[in-house]
Amino acid sequence: MVPAANPNSPRRHGDTEVATAPDHEDLAILGGKPVRETMLPYGRQSVSEADVAAVVEVLRSDWLTTGPKVGEFEEAFAAAVGAKFAVSFSSGTGALHGAAFTAGLGPGDEAVTTPMTFCATANCVLYQGGTPVFADVSSDTLNLDPDRVKEKISPRTKTILPVDYAGHAADLGALMGIAEQHGLIVIEDASHALGGEYQGRRVGSLAHMTTFSLHPVKHLTTGEGGMVTTDRADFAETLRRFRNHGISSEARQRQSAGQWHYDMVLLGMNYRLPDINCALGLSQLPRLGANLARRRAIAATYASRLAGLPGLILPSTRVGVSLAWHLYPVRLDPAKISAGRDEVFRALRAENIGVNVHYIPVHLHPYYQDRFGYRGGEFPVAEAAYAGLISLPMFHAMSDQDVEDVIHAVGKVLEHYER
């Protein structure tokens, strides 16, 4: 659905309608009236009355954790992404840790991954005593560049760990090819890409293991939560054990079998996703298609109405990829506007548009600099992108007026700073 144009906001340049502000509008950061009265967040959950009822039903039941809702949610999730197995975790971070464990990552092993991600992607390698080895990204998608990955493969490499940045699937065809050639396991961090597609296949069915986050800003939520999908039964079994202290059976199975004995067979964690949360996810799952459709419609509106604004580079989509649009990251071209990213960021926030930045490249965080000696300059494509990145609000519950407000504010701010 394309929102109705705000009569104050867009005007026509030649044949193209672009978002601009009336000339007299002062920026809010300079004392003018903000585009909105209240802050629009960059991401937000939507919870229906049916979701609330589903959670309440579990609260009144016998099982608050590891009861029947866990298996039901996992089965429905696996079917939704076209994988044989789905194993739930208490967060996307736990899911990544479980996948790193299951891939057999250990001390001395390396995982080639992207610097353009949330730190949890690389941290899971450290949890296992391995070393994350960063490779630079492609400048169009900001996803791992397979040519840079090839340069980083060593005899110690065990895993390739791509991220589907913003919901655009990584170049899985090329990465799975490299993995096959070197006998590696691919863990796809699809925290941004639930519902995305690559070459006609669903994200979640492409890599050896795919991890998801079910945090409230994602396509569906369990509050906190995560999932790993895989087609390998042995991986699914290890993942289930790892999230439950390394124990080979679950309390409910023992209760129904009238047994008390259990074996701890590996060193696991408690990463269980409670029934309360699984009930929420199960209730939300049927809306995934509608949520994606809304996100795609918002992205299409942004793309058509923001095109042509000074200094604005819009996200690109490769042929054969259907994006899940977790984020809508735009980049600023410093040659065309007189303000840097941080100033534009502050100006948009002053208009009450809750922009964000995704991401500080992981190797630039103090922990990684102190531990591995990174100083900046190692991954020029990721670092150059970061300098201009701003995420515009993108969530399925955005109203048409919210979308208009973003378009209005971005036009107002960029026209002000146009060189």
Ligand X SMILES: Cc1ncc(COP(=O)(O)O)c(C=O)c1O
Among 93, 114, 244, 391, the residue binding ligand X under the rule CB under 6 A is 93
Minimum CB separation of residue 164 from ligand X in Å reads 8
Judged by CB under 6 A, does residue 382 bind ligand X? no
Toward ligand X, which CB reaches closer, 9 or 159?
159
The stretch among 19-27, 85-93, 194-202, 264-272 that binds ligand X (CB under 6 A) is 85-93
Query: Where do we find the tokens 């560049």?
Result: 145
Q: Does 226 bind ligand X (CB under 6 A)?
A: yes
| Bond before 359 cis per omega within 30 degrees | yes
Position 221 contacts ligand X (CB under 6 A): no
How many positions of this chain bind ligand X (CB under 6 A)? 14
- Nearest one of 4, 1, 2, 5 to 411, comparing CA atoms: 5
Query: Which one of the spans 74-82, 112-120, 145-153, 310-318 is the region binding ligand X (CB under 6 A)?
Result: 112-120
* Contact assessment for residue 359 and residue 189, using Cβ atoms and an 8 Å cutoff: no
Tell whether residue 163 is a contact of ligand X (CB under 6 A): yes
Q: What do you get for the CA distance between the two ends of the chain, in Å?
A: 34
Q: Which of 322, 316, 314, 320 is nearest to 292 (CA)?
A: 322
Is 73 or 118 the residue whose CB approaches ligand X more closely? 118
Residues near 341 by Cβ (< 8 Å), separated by ≥ 6? 332, 357, 387, 388, 389, 390
Give the 3-state secondary structure of residue 304: helix
Q: How far apart are CA 329 and CA 315, in angstroms?
A: 6
Radius of gyration of the chain (CA): 22
Structure token digits, residue 270 = 């408690």
Q: Which residue is nearest to ligand X (CB)?
A: 92
Q: What is the DSSP annotation of 81-137?
A: HT-SEEEEESSHHHHHHHHHHHTT--TT-EEEE-SSS-THHHHHHHHTT-EEEE-PB
Per CB under 6 A, does 121 bind ligand X?
yes
Q: Looking at residue 335, what DSSP letter applies?
A: T
Binding residue (CB under 6 A) for ligand X from 117, 141, 230, 283: 117
Q: For residue 213, state whether it binds ligand X (rule: CB under 6 A).
A: yes
Among 40, 58, 112, 120, binds ligand X (CB under 6 A): 120
118 binds ligand X (CB under 6 A): yes
Pairing of strands 209-213, 185-189: parallel
Closest C-alpha among 154, 163, 164, 99 to residue 131:
154
Task: Check binding of 110 to ligand X (CB under 6 A).
Answer: no
CB closer to ligand X, 272 vs 416: 272
Report the nearest approach of ligand X to the CB of residue 179 (Å). Answer: 19
Does 189 participate in binding ligand X (rule CB under 6 A)? yes
92 binds ligand X (CB under 6 A): yes
E runs forming strands in 135-205 = 157-161, 185-189, 197-198, 201-202
Which among 185-193, 249-257, 284-292, 386-394 is the span making contact with ligand X, rule CB under 6 A? 185-193
Cβ contact 311:337 at 8 Å? yes
Give the interface segment with ligand X, choosing from 137-145, 189-197, 202-210, 335-343 (CB under 6 A): 189-197
Contact in structure between 186 and 174 (CB atoms under 8 Å): no
Piece in contact with ligand X (CB under 6 A), picked from 37-45, 86-94, 375-383, 393-401? 86-94
Contact status: 191 vs ligand X (CB under 6 A) = yes
CB closer to ligand X, 163 vs 330: 163
215 scored as a contact of ligand X (CB under 6 A):
yes
Report which DSSP code applies to 365: S
3-state secondary structure of 144: strand
Minimum CB–partner distance for residue 166 and ligand X (Å): 10
Minimum distance, C-beta of residue 144 to ligand X, in the bound complex (Å): 12
Is residue 6 at the binding interface for ligand X, with CB under 6 A as the rule?
A: no
Active site residues: 218
Nearer to ligand X, 215 or 408 (CB): 215
- DSSP annotation of 274 reads P
CB of 10 to ligand X, least distance (A): 32
Residues that bind ligand X (CB under 6 A): 91-93, 117-118, 120-121, 163, 189, 191-192, 213, 215, 226
